[in-house]
Structure 1
Amino acid sequence: MSKKCIKCGEILPEDASFCPHCTTVQIEKKEIKTPRKWRKKAVIGVAGLAVAAVIGIAFSIYHRPEIYEGGAQITYTDKGKSYKVLLSFSEEGGMTGHAQGERTDTLAEGMNSALPCQLYVLNKDTGELAGEEFSKEVESCKVDTKPSEGSQKMEYVEPVYNESFPNAAYVSDINYVSDSGTNDIQWTLTMKNGDTIFLSTRLTIEKQPAVSYYAEDTPMETTEELNALLASIEEEASADTPVYLHLPAVTYDGDITFGDHVWSISGSKDGDAVTTFTGTVSIKGHDGNYADLSGINFEGKGGIGLDAYCLVLLTDCNFTGWDTAAVAQNGAWVNAMECTFANNTVGLKFNTSMAYGTAPNYVNNTFTDNGTAVCIDSLPGNEVIDFAGSVFSGNDTDIENKADHAVDTAKATFE
């Protein structure tokens, strides 16, 4: 057997390792490649991805949006801090961390009213109020009302920070009528980190049957007749019975006292005649009873026009000629809307250190040519007295705020 030289082509023995003619080595050189390390890198890469995936899953699970639901109170944890979040209709209860899961109120037949449903936040460890800090992490806050079977849906105002309740994070006014029945007040808070908080409280309104008196079928044309009617009401109707009086368009001379009931006292017009009081009208309701007066003139020659010892709501009433047109004595609050106070020494006066009910909105009133239009000697609570739409004209002093109570006149007019 023979082979040829790989270079010069001479015939060589089969086992020749070089060519004697050209001295060329007859073994072909093969390139030796450096071993690749891709397998090791791939293993490391796959392992790294696996670790990253595990870390990612753990991070995702740890920061996954959570749902908190617990009636009128929950404990919420965020960024290492724990908060007690609760609902209350009472400012005192909310500030001290006492949630209110349900409340029952009574309301006179045919009447309407409102309650502020308040959301409070406290640091769970210290018990200190933390509403401002907590609110910075809130994306949205919503309220809804869900009536029970046979009940009417209560109206509500979307929750906001309310200066009248400065310690609450949010407040929603719940409006209801005597036939509202039972509603669940449901709050939903969506946090910026994706968490959701559900809170709920229940409000029940029980209707109080009322008695009504009309001038058409009950004598009340004179002061004597009206006083006789009021005396019979005190004897025959319990203090928790609401009384509706529909007065004729006459003038009542002398002082008149309305006793301890919920009163709805409506005046009337007949040509130029209007229901008018020329003596002091005293309202003596106690322990949550109140009075609603509308369409009445108070015309005096000194003294006090309206002497209130409970919450009194005035609508479309006119006061003129009094030393003090209307005064809230201790335990009382006098609210006026669309009323006129003219030519009084003092128009509206507050002299109370406590009140069973409040109504801070004084909308569309006219205060003209008074010595002092509004005098605040003493007034409880944090409610901001809002005179939106009211006009102050020709008064020596528009508002004398001795108590330094919060007053908003931004939307009032001063002439």
Structure 2
Amino acid sequence: MCAAWLYTRPQELEGAGSVQYTDADGSYQIHLAKSSERFEPPKVVNVKCEPGEEYRFPLCVTFYDSRTGENVSHSMAKKIKYSQISFEQPENSAYPWRATEPVYSGARPDAALTSFMDFVLESGSSRIIWTLGMTNGDTIRLYLDMEIEEIPVMHYYPEDTLMQTAEELQALVDEVDRTIPPETIVYLHLPAVTYTGDLTIDQHPINLCGSEEGRTVFTGHIYVTTMAEKRINYFDHIDFLGSRDRIGISAADRVHLTDCTISGWKTGVLAYGDTWVNAMHCRWENNQIGFHFNADNADGSRVSHTQYTGNQFIGNGTAVLLENVPTDISLKFADCRFAGNEVDIDNRCRQELDISQAVFE
């Protein structure tokens, strides 16, 4: 009788990254990790941060049957009564770690619950504690230690660096390739000039920042072939103005565009190979094809952002051509405007889209 009481009394379990759990129906491995893939989660996660930047990544709770290895998150999620996330972090931090409410996410369908962690460099290292209260009274605590490391950053400005012409800019990019360590983030703060030649970014990822005093303009072809595993080339506040027989930007590595104008090209932006390209608050005008997504060699691991908020597609032949998109996650075109295009969206690969908040004229 005493043994039966001990077996049925509520359990309290704790583990770093994972825990073995048994209830009346079976035995399970519970994982806490940045994805829902089947692997042994680390107990410590090292995160590299750039000063002044905001960061977010998902944490997933996933259940596996200990005997078969089968993912049983859907059935086990019904046994979770409540879920809470807390942090052991410096007191009175001006930038404390934060977490979104743990919920089921269609973007990570194999996980029982997903929550997004929000932090900055100044948040500092922290322990994330995820507590699960089960319907049978059991309590499970999983934790991960987050170690924050500052990323080195280099800034180049036109006041002290030659970058007035396309040739000078290419020479600077080539110098970065030769002299700057791969882990260093590089910003080129461009002057308000028109670059008439082509530019190739083929080794070290580069962030191109347009002038704050006027518009920086490129009329040549931009090649991005860096193939950096975890880095993104950011292009901000720039006009790419071209001719109808050329491609404006061809990207075989990840590129994010913000507040840019892409106008007058045969193809404004081409994403191809193993890559992901995102654009927000950009104007795509008078192109034969505005944005062409044809990442036919990508496996989805390089997807970085599926929001395409605030873009305007005006007077293009085809505004958006989706030929190969390496994700099943919906692309969201919130606050986008499509006007005067012959074709607004040519969705050849039948990519899932959210155009509920877009305007078509």
TM-score (norm 1): 0.77
Matched, 1:158 2:87: no
Q: Taking structure 1 as reference, are residues 204 and 350 closer, same or farther at Cα in structure 2, changes over 3 Å only?
A: farther
Please, what is the CA RMSD of the aligned residues? 2.6
Provide the secondary structure at the position in 2 that maps to 1:70: strand
Matched, 1:347 2:293: no
- Residue 261 of structure 2: aligned partner: 318
User: What is residue 77 of structure 2 aligned with on the other side?
Assistant: 135
Mark the CA change 1:370 to 1:162 in structure 2 (over 3 Å): closer, same or farther: farther
**Separation in 2, partners of 1:168, 1:382:** 16
Write out per-residue CA displacement over residues 222-269 of structure 1, whole angstroms, 9 at most, x where no aligned residue: 222222222222222122221111111111112112242243321124
Contact 1:153 1:183 in 2 (8 A): no
* Residues 240, 262 of structure 1: 8 Å contact kept: no
Q: 1:55-134, aligned counterparts within 5 Å?
A: 62-90=7-35, 94-134=36-76
CA change 1:85–1:293 in 2 (3 A) is same
Retained in 2: the 8 A contact 1:65–1:194?
yes
Question: Do residues 206 (structure 1) and 206 (structure 2) align?
Answer: no
* Counterpart among 371, 387, 405 of residue 333 in structure 2: 387
Partner Cα distance (1:221, 1:100) in 2: 47
Structure with max Cα Rg: 1
Segment of structure 1 superposing worse, 230-239 or 59-68: 59-68
Give the Cα separation in 1 of the matches to 2:270 and 2:146: 32
Instruction: Name the structure 1 match of 2:320.
Output: 374
CA positional deviation for 1:63:
4.0
Change (3 A) 1:331 1:109: farther
AA partner of residue 16 (structure 2):
G
Superposed CA deviations along residues 22-53 of structure 1, whole A, max 9, x for unmatched, are xxxxxxxxxxxxxxxxxxxxxxxxxxxxxxxx
Deviates more, 1:100-109 or 1:188-197: 100-109
- Give the alignment of 1:276-315 within 5 angstroms: 276-285=217-226, 286-302=228-244, 303-315=246-258
CA distance, structure 2, for counterparts of residue 197 and residue 219 of structure 1: 59
Give CA deviations for 1:286-317 in whole Å, capped at 9, x if unaligned: 23232112111111113211222222121111
Matches within 5 A, 1:13-92: 62-90=7-35
1:138–1:189 CA contact under 8 A, matched in 2: yes
**Aligned to 2:138, which of 195, 198, 215?**
195
One-letter code aligned to 1:142:
Q
Matched residue SS, 2:163? coil
Amino acid at match of 1:330: G
CA contact (8 A) 1:222 1:252 kept: yes
Letter of the structure 1 residue corresponding to residue 178 of structure 2:
E
Give, in whole Å, the separation in 1 of the partners of 2:74 and 2:272. 35
Percent identity reads 35
User: Structure 1: how far apart are the matches of 2:119 and 2:328?
Assistant: 23
| Distance in 1 between residues matched to 2:83 and 2:339, nearest whole Å | 41
Q: Secondary structure at the match of 2:16?
A: coil
- The count of corresponding residues between Structure 1 and Structure 2 is 355
2:166 to 223, 229, 233: 223
Give the superposition deviation at 1:277. Answer: 1.0
Query: What do residues 322-360 of structure 1 show as CA deviations (whole Å, max 9, x unaligned)?
Result: 222112222211111111222222222222232535211
Cα 1:156–1:324 change in 2 (3 A) is: farther
Distance 1:228 1:284 in 2: 17
TM-score, length of structure 2 as denominator length: 0.88
Give distance in 1, aligned partners of 2:283 and 2:107.
Answer: 25
Q: Distance in 2 between matches of 1:389 and 1:145?
A: 35
Per-residue deviation, residues 7-30 of structure 1 (Å, max 9, x unmatched):
xxxxxxxxxxxxxxxxxxxxxxxx
* Aligned residue number for residue 31 of structure 1: none
Secondary structure class of the residue paired with 2:341: coil
1:232 aligns with 2:175: yes
Structure 1 CA distance for aligned equivalents of residues 204 and 124 of structure 2: 22
What code does the residue aligned with 1:319 have?
I
Runs of 5+ in structure 1 lacking a partner?
A: 1-54
Q: Please list the CA deviations of residues 357-415 of structure 1 after superposition, one character each: whole Å capped at 9, or x if unmatched.
A: 52112222222222222222222234332222222333333333333333222333333
Instruction: Look up the match of 1:6.
Output: none
Bigger relative contact order (CA 8 A; separation at least 6): 2
Corresponding residue for residue 357 of structure 2: 411
Q: Any unmatched runs of 5+ in structure 2? A: none
Could you tell me how far apart the structure 1 residues matched to 2:345 and 2:16 are? 44
Mapping for residues 249-268 of structure 1, pairs under 5 Å: 249-268=192-211
Do the aligned partners of 2:102 and 2:113 also contact (CA within 8 Å) in 1? yes
